[in-house]
Amino acid sequence: MEILTLTNLAMTTIMIGTPIVVLLLIYSRNTRQSHHSLLRNHPILGVFRYLIEKVGPEFRFYITDGDNEGKPLSRAHFTSIIMAAKYCKSIVGFGSKRDFVKPGLYLGNALFPRQQDEVHVDNHEPIDSIKFVVDAEGVFTRNEHREPVQLQRWLLPEDEAIVVGANRRQPFVTRSWFGCSAMSYGALGSRAHETINRGIAMTGAGWHNTGEGGVSPYHLTGADVIAQIGSGKFGFRTLDGAFDEDEFVAKANLPQVKAFELKLAQGAKIKGGHLEADKVTPEIAKIRGVAPWTRIDSPNRFDEFNDVPSLVAFVARLQELGGKPVGIKVVIGTDLSLEELAAYMAKTGQGPDFITVDGGEGGSGATYREMADTMGLPIDSGIIIADDTLRKYGVRDRVKLFASGKLHSADQICIALALGADCVNIARGFMIATGCIMTEKCHTGKCPVGVATTDPKYEDALVVDEKKYRVANYIATVRAGCYSLAAACGLDSPTRFNRSHVVFKDAAFRVTRADVLFPLPAENSTGSESSETFVSKPATPVETPVGG
């Protein structure tokens, strides 16, 4: 009994004494240091300031921010992606959480919507996938199980497929109107890229843009690929950094690679890309053609061209070498952004096969705040300007427009298509479907869920054979949503949307259709040499649109 009492006394002394010793050590360390004034004056309480700063993003996202307030992505949007990826659902209860008082864009529903058997879709072959089913949910627990599920693919019919680069020897033909936006191997890890690629392949259509880090083995596991070439020319360069035509031809000969994209700029940063040294593993260095464990900063622009004529000449050279479509990625800064390019295309008959317009709100990884906040117009403005400019010079029929910039849900995609896009690129949606929880550690290499990292310790958290189903579920659910919205607007396909199907409600509750706010320009009004008259997306009247 006496021994037991002494043991209890010792344990109590340790339990009380240990925190006191820890506090004394913290007090001593903080009062002696010289670089934090707060900690010198408040050696104990000051620690909580840095603790709150450390967990601030997570704290705000889960507790203090409203469902629609979080940036860069709100909790409502984040949750909608998770629901689609894990549970194949897009249903909400008790109504929308959108603030209907604020100005915004809406889709104009038709008085007589289409029936499901009236839409033009190919659902003949299902997707064999796996979804989660919730068994019971408590305050701190959620019991759920996985079960097989067959999903419809929601593909465009073969005769309505989108054709990019129709004049090339090998055009890119796709039966999906959205795919994965550019994210490099290095910015995202190998497992994340393999997950995305295999998930897209399961759905039968779509594409996986490699980003400027080159074509890796993880991009070649089944899905169509758009190979991006940045100003650093990673994966397409000689040892001294010059463009390597032999490497380009080798990539063009890969059957999975369907097109190439020259990245002139992206919404996150209107300059060359950046990758921290600790992300440049020997494998990534070999793919990119650089030294391992060295920081990579791409030049602000390509050395191979510095004006519109030299850009178009470079594009033409690649079109001839590879025989596949070649496009450019740009950020629209003003209404004059594409004027010179469109005029030159009309004059010469040459130019890119597609243009990716990235909005200033884009950027799924690391970026520079001074650029992210103030450079580059939002995607809705950018796509209207690009569409109008190409039409004005009579070259819209030769160019497909891809829109990117926080477009991850069916309604956002349909609005972008209506405003002028032919296709949509999604980055954050695919990251979240793969497991991203938005800890904002993309640039550190310490992504806790193994998405934006190349560190094997963190990558081990991501299981490809589980997450690939989430990617496929996300794609199928969003495609179904797009067809549902098209039918509600009286259309037989999402590719039929145009500006007459979008309305803008201002702060005074006045409503104006987008085709009234932004009427299509008269083609060839500048006297360009092209004599063709073409409207790539004819304005199909919508029956009694909202506010019409």
Q: Output b/e per residue, 419-439; b: 16+ Cβ within 10 A.
A: bbbbbbbbbbbbbbbbbbebb
pLDDT of residue 65: 62
In-domain check, residue 113: no
pLDDT band at residue 33, thresholds of 50, 70 and 90?
confident
Listed in sequence order, the residues at least 6 apart from 270 whose beta carbon sits closer than 8 Å to its beta carbon are 331, 333, 371, 375, 376
Q: Same structural domain for residues 46 and 194?
A: no
Q: Same structural domain for residues 489 and 345?
A: yes
pLDDT of residue 168: 98
Q: Same structural domain for residues 302 and 436?
A: yes
In-domain check, residue 295: yes
Extract the runs of DSSP E, i.e. beta strands, from 264-348: 274-275, 296-297, 326-330
In-domain check, residue 71: no
The CA distance from 200 to 221, in Å, is: 10
Average per-residue pLDDT for the chain? 87
* pLDDT-wise least confident of 3-12, 35-44, 309-318: 3-12
pLDDT of residue 40: 78
Number of domains in the chain: 2
**Is 519 or 73 the better-scoring residue by pLDDT?**
519
The CA distance from 186 to 183, in Å, is: 9
Summarised one tens digit per residue, pLDDT across range 381-402 is 999 999 999 999 999 999 999 9
Give this prediction's pTM. Answer: 0.85
Summarised one tens digit per residue, pLDDT across range 398-430 is 999 999 998 999 999 999 999 999 999 999 999
Residue 497 has pLDDT above 50, yes or no: yes
Summarised one tens digit per residue, pLDDT across range 296-347 is 888 888 999 999 999 999 999 999 999 999 999 999 999 889 999 999 999 9
Strand partners, 150: 128
In-domain check, residue 124: no
In-domain check, residue 89: no
Among candidates 426, 546, 406, 403, which has minimal Cα distance to 477?
Answer: 426
Residue 226 has pLDDT above 80, yes or no: yes
Summarised one tens digit per residue, pLDDT across range 242-266 is 999 999 999 999 999 999 999 998 8
In-domain check, residue 70: no
* Residues in the chain, total: 548
Query: What single letter denotes the amino acid at residue 347?
Result: K
- Determine the average pLDDT of the residues in 63-84: 75
Angle between helices 410-419 and 464-488 (to 10 degrees): 50
How distant, in Å, are the alpha carbons of 60, 278, 482 from that of 298?
Answer: 34, 16, 37
In-domain check, residue 94: no
Q: Same structural domain for residues 172 and 30?
A: no
**Is 292 or 32 the better-scoring residue by pLDDT?**
292
Range of the domain at 350: 157-503
- Determine the average pLDDT of the residues in 43-62: 68
Secondary structure (H, E, C), 325-386: CEEEEECCCCCCCCHHHHHHHHHHCCCCCEEEEECCCCCCCCCCHHHHCCCCCCHHHHHHHH
pLDDT band at residue 441, thresholds of 50, 70 and 90?
confident
* pLDDT-wise least confident of 45-49, 63-67, 293-297, 507-511: 63-67
- Determine the average pLDDT of the residues in 23-44: 79
Residue 64 has pLDDT above 60, yes or no: no
Q: Same structural domain for residues 57 and 169?
A: no
- Residue 357: CATH number of its domain: 3.20.20.70
Q: Same structural domain for residues 194 and 300?
A: yes
Q: Same structural domain for residues 172 and 42?
A: no
* pLDDT-wise least confident of 29-33, 462-466, 509-513, 519-523: 29-33
Query: What single letter denotes the amino acid at residue 52?
Result: I
> What is the percent of the chain where pLDDT is above 70?
84
In-domain check, residue 14: no
Summarised one tens digit per residue, pLDDT across range 460-479 is 999 999 999 999 999 999 99
What are the tokens at 28? 């001593």
Query: What single letter denotes the amino acid at residue 248?
Result: F
